A = this chain, B = another copy of it.
């Protein structure tokens, strides 16, 4: 059985950006925690919906036709197939909920692609 997770302690346990940690796994889905800062890369996930929940700070999710601005305590689901670009002007702490197979950069491969996720201690 997986231990309970304290978000504050979990986020305090790492400091790098755009490197999601695996916090929990259930029903073939991942709960991932990431610190975001700056601009990511435009990408889409062909078969995976992706939920972004802002634990601290603020996050803008640019879509091709509009921006979704998320503040602490807000979440948004990017539907499968929809191109998006996460941007955090200041550091944001984000919890993501998505299928375990989801690649962080979706249909794009670059230096920020993480094929293996570190699990939280």
Contacts and interface: CB of A to CB of B under 8 A. Distances in A.
Interface of A: 1-2, 4-8, 24-27, 29, 31, 48-51, 55, 68, 70-71, 73-77, 79, 82, 97-99
A68 B2 CA distance: 11
B4 A99 contact: no
Contacts of A26: 49-51, 77, 79, 97-98
B7 A73 contact: yes
Contact of A51 (B1, B7, B24, B48): B24
11 contacts: A1-B77, A1-B79, A4-B68, A4-B75, A4-B76, A8-B73, A26-B49, A27-B29, A31-B75, A55-B73, A97-B97
A74 B49 CA distance: 24
Contacts of A97: 26, 29, 31, 97
Contacts of A51: 24, 26, 31
Contacts of A99: 27
Given A27-B99, A97-B31, A5 B74 contact: yes
